[in-house]
Amino acid sequence: MLAETLAEIRPADPRALAEARSHHDRLTKPRGSLGVLEDVAIRLAGAAGVSPPPMPEPAALAIFAADHGVHARGVSPWPQEVTVQMVANFLAGGAVANAFAAQAGVPVTVVDVGVATDLPEAPGLVNHKIGYGTADLSRGPAMTVDQAVQALEAGILVARNLMATGARCLITGDMGIGNTTASAALISVFTGKDAAEVTGRGTGIDDATHERKVGIVRESIRVNGLSGDLPTELASGLKAPSEALRALAAVGGFEHAAIAGFILCGAAARVPVILDGVIAGAAALVAAALDPAVTDHCIAGHRSVEPGHSAALDQLGLRPLVDLELRLGEGTGGLLAHPMVCAAVRALREVATFDSAGVTEKPV
Ligand SMILES: O=C(O)c1ccc[n+]([C@@H]2O[C@H](COP(=O)([O-])O)[C@@H](O)[C@H]2O)c1
Ligand SMILES: Cc1cc2nc[nH]c2cc1C
């Protein structure tokens, strides 16, 4: 299923990009006056392969939940059971993601890809449990490559099902106590940046714990024999994309793998994917290492305060739409961005041209 999905991914269509760009310049507004939103609409035209692109709605949010063996190293101030408790909260409609989703009119699906305890069946919950949390990535691989592929394929399945029921925009969400440590490790490996530059304070840790967390991220990379040169080695063809899967399995989480699959599947179907925060950024680096064309189908919903998120977005070449010092996850930043993405596309689709509206153009 992974190979099939990868085979379908195409980069942005240059003709649709050019058409969208020139159409934007004929709309009744000064050229460039919609700033970054013009780029969003043009990029979505390229991704869809047609200008103007279809409206990116209805959207669907999938929150991928999992636990992390590295939690035992004291990298998060919160107990592990908060992951399963928050899953129950999402299902009951009580989390911030539910409030923002209600505001945006977006349905929420919660996916158990590796929560440490069993969850009772519930409407809105999809069970793709790969394991009861990962192993501790600072002592050896967090999961096997086989498990990483299973989690990627779970993400593909979730995206496929959401699109089959009508979703025309996918929004990533995550829940997993400890997952900012795995995110930092992935981002360090996939950007080549040192652990100290990409490790943040997650849900809120003090200076001493942060220093220890940086050490644990560095240790995870050394213990798993991951080279700091992976990005250049992948780009130069010295290392195969299968090395990206090995890195994902070594220091990632089940939710990172599933989100990477979710992104790949959206890209393969030419359905735009709005990325949330640092966890999605780390997952997008994995997806882009498997096929760089996926970034043409991604919109960075927001910039999280986690330093690794900026590093990931820089490497992906994506500019975030919202920058509000959020650091929650759950898909909250992606949900806030969705109406802006819709507005950007609607402008390209519906605004009159100087010709059609009889508005005089600026003399050249
Ligand atoms: O999305 C982000 O950028 C983000 C930044 C900090 C924390 N989080 C959320 O907080 C949890 C992980 O934090 P931690 O400190 O336990 O690693 C996890 O459930 C994430 O969804 C999310
Ligand atoms: C309460 C809480 C809610 C969250 N949502 C996403 N990550 C979270 C972490 C905590 C601790």
The domain segmentation of the chain, as residue ranges, is 59-337
**Ligand 2 atom with the shortest distance to the CA of 174:** 6
Q: Is 276 in the pocket of ligand 1 (CB under 6 A)?
A: yes
The residues, any chain, with a CB within 8 Å of residue 297's CB and separated by 6 or more, are: 9, 47, 263, 266, 267, 270, 271, 272, 273
For helices 179-191 and 278-290, angle between their N-to-C axes, nearest 10 degrees: 40
Nearest Cα residue to atom 20 of ligand 1: 329
Burial of 201 (0-12, 13-18, 19+ CB in 10 A): middle
Q: Which helix (H) or strand (E) holds 129?
A: none
Q: Where are the beta strands (DSSP E) in the chain?
A: 59-66, 108-114, 125-127, 169-175, 273-275, 298-300
pLDDT score of 234 more than 90: no
Residue 220 CA, ligand 2 centroid: distance in Å: 24
Q: Is 304 in the pocket of ligand 1 (CB under 6 A)?
A: yes
Residue 178 CA, ligand 1 centroid: distance in Å: 7
φ/ψ of 136, rounded to 5, equals -70, 110
Residue 135's nearest CA partner among 251, 255, 282, 260 is 251
Give pLDDT, residue 291: 96
Give pLDDT, residue 220: 98
Mean per-residue pLDDT, 296-312: 98
Residue 78 CA, ligand 2 centroid: distance in Å: 9
* Ligand 1 binding pocket mutation candidate from 68, 137, 180, 255 (most atoms within 8 A of CB): 180
pLDDT score of 228 more than 80: no
Alpha carbon 162 to its chain's center: 16
Which residues belong to the active site?
330
- CATH for 59-337 is 3.40.50.10210
Band of the pLDDT at 239, cuts 50, 70, 90?
confident
Structure tokens, 234: 């992948």
Structure tokens, 81: 């059971």
Residue 86 CA, ligand 2 centroid: distance in Å: 7
3 state DSSP class of 310: helix
d(Cα 8, Cα 3) in Å, to the nearest integer? 9
| Ligand in closest contact with the CA of 312 | 1
Q: Is 277 in the pocket of ligand 2 (CB under 6 A)?
A: no
d(Cα 51, Cα 16) in Å, to the nearest integer? 5
d(Cα 211, Cα 215) in Å, to the nearest integer? 6
Nearest Cα residue to atom 11 of ligand 1: 177
Buried b (16+ CB within 10 A) or exposed e, 41-72: bbbbbbbbebbbbbebbebbbbbbbbbbbbbe
pLDDT score of 107 more than 90: yes
pLDDT per residue over 162-171, tens digit each?
Answer: 999 999 999 9
Residue 172's nearest CA partner among 294, 348, 51 is 294
pLDDT score of 227 more than 80: no
Q: Is 329 in the pocket of ligand 2 (CB under 6 A)?
A: yes
